[in-house]
Amino acid sequence: MILNNWSIRIGGGALAFLVLIALFAPWLGTVDPALFDPASRDLLPGKSGQITTLDGDKLRHTFLMGSDSLGRDIYSRVLYGTRVSLLVGILCALVALAAGIACGLASGYLRWLDGILMRFMDGVMAIPAILVAISLVAIWRGSLATVIVAIAIPEIPRVTRLVRSLVLSIREEPYVEAAVALGTPTWKILFGHILPNCVAPLVVQGTYVCAFSILVEAILSFLGVGLPPDIPTWGNVMAEGRAQFNDYPHNIFFPGVFLAVTVLAVNILGDGMRDTLDPKMAKRV
Partner 1 sequence: MAAPRAGPFFFMLTFILRRLLATIPVLLIVAVLVFLMLRLAPGDPAAILAGDAASTEQIARIRAGLGLDRPIVVQFGIWAGNLLAGDLGESFYYKMKVATLIGQRLEPTLALASLTILIAIVVAVPLGVVAAWRFGGWFDRALMGFSVLGFSVPVFVLAYMLIYVVSLQLGLLPVQGYQRIADGFWPFLRHLILPSITLSVIYIALIARVTRASVLEALGEDYIRTARAKGLPEIRVLVRHALANAAVPIVTVIGIGIALLIGGVVVTESVYAIPGLGRLTVDAVLARDFPTIQGLILFFSFVYVLLNLLIDLSYVFLDPRIRY
User: Which residues contact partner 1 by CB under 8 A?
Assistant: 119-120, 122-131, 134-140, 211, 215, 218-219, 222-225, 238, 245-246, 249, 252-253, 256, 259-260, 263-264, 267-268, 271, 284-285
Smallest distance, Å, CB 214 to partner 1? 9
Instruction: Tell the smallest beta-carbon distance from residue 153 to partner 1 (Å).
Output: 10
Asked if 46 contacts 195 with a C-beta cutoff of 8 angstroms, the reply is: no
CB of 211 to partner 1, least distance (A): 7
State the minimum distance, in angstroms, from the CB of residue 64 to partner 1: 20
Question: In terms of CB distance, is 78 or 219 closer to partner 1?
Answer: 219
| CB closer to partner 1 out of 138 and 199 | 138
Nearer to partner 1, 31 or 153 (CB): 153
Residue closer to partner 1 by CB (options 26, 224) is: 224
**Dist CA 145 CA 213 (whole Å):** 13
CA 251 to chain CA centroid, Å, is 22
**Integer Cα distance of 37 and 35 in angstroms:** 7
Decide whether 128 or 174 has the Cβ nearer to partner 1: 128
Given the complex with partner 1, which of 75 and 222 has the nearer CB atom?
A: 222
Shortest distance (Å) from residue 156 CB to partner 1: 13
Q: Which residues of 129-155 are buried (b: 16+ CB within 10 A; e: fewer)?
A: beebbbebbeeeebebebbbbbbbbbb
Number of other residues whose CB lies within 10 A of the CB of residue 4: 9
Measured from the CB of residue 65, what is the shortest distance to partner 1 in angstroms? Answer: 15
- Three-state DSSP state, 224: coil
Residues 6+ apart with CB under 8 A from 148: 88, 91, 92, 95, 213
Backbone dihedral region for residue 46 (phi beyond 0: left; psi -120 to 50: alpha; all else: beta): left
